[in-house]
Amino acid sequence: MSSASRNNSVDNRLDAVFHALGDRTRRALLARLAKRPAMITELAHPFAMSLPAVSRHIRVLEDAGLVTRAVDGRMHRCSLNPKPFKAIDGWLIHYRQYWEENLAALAQYVESGQDS
């Protein structure tokens, strides 16, 4: 695989993950799955939406690789897949250095007691 297509693949995965995380219901579903795997009916319980609507949210999370679903007959058990969060962390690391440097400069300025 060429470098350009590998970068495109990584970008596509990040796009899918950020899209999935861009919805508060999906973030709430992930928070519940971070505690333990659950069935769709369990996940739907606290939300004022139908099972098909929750299932659509789970499908977006699955497409992003954030959730895996095991199907046994009519039972759909969902689990959190932490792997895509590593990709996000890898992307954020470049920006973390920027913020740490700026916060350090701000702290130094505040501690010096200088007024502009």
- CB neighbours (10 Å) of residue 55? 17
At 7 the pLDDT is 66
Question: Within a domain: residue 112?
Answer: no
- Residues 44, 57 contacting (CB under 8 angstroms): no
The model's pLDDT over 21-72, given as tens digits with 9 standing for 90+, comes to 999 999 999 999 999 999 999 999 999 899 999 999 999 999 999 999 999 9
Half-sphere exposure of 19 (CA within 13 A, CB side): 15
Reduced to 3 states (helix: H, G, I; strand: E, B; else coil), residue 36 is coil
At 99 the pLDDT is 79
User: Looking at per-residue confidence, does 3 or 72 come out higher?
Assistant: 72
| pLDDT classification of 96: cutoffs 50, 70, 90 | confident
- Residues 93, 113 contacting (CB under 8 angstroms): no
Question: Within a domain: residue 90?
Answer: no
Helices in the chain by DSSP H: which ranges?
3-21, 24-35, 40-44, 51-63, 83-112
CATH code of the domain covering residue 9:
1.10.10.10
The total domain count for the chain is: 1
Question: Within a domain: residue 98?
Answer: no
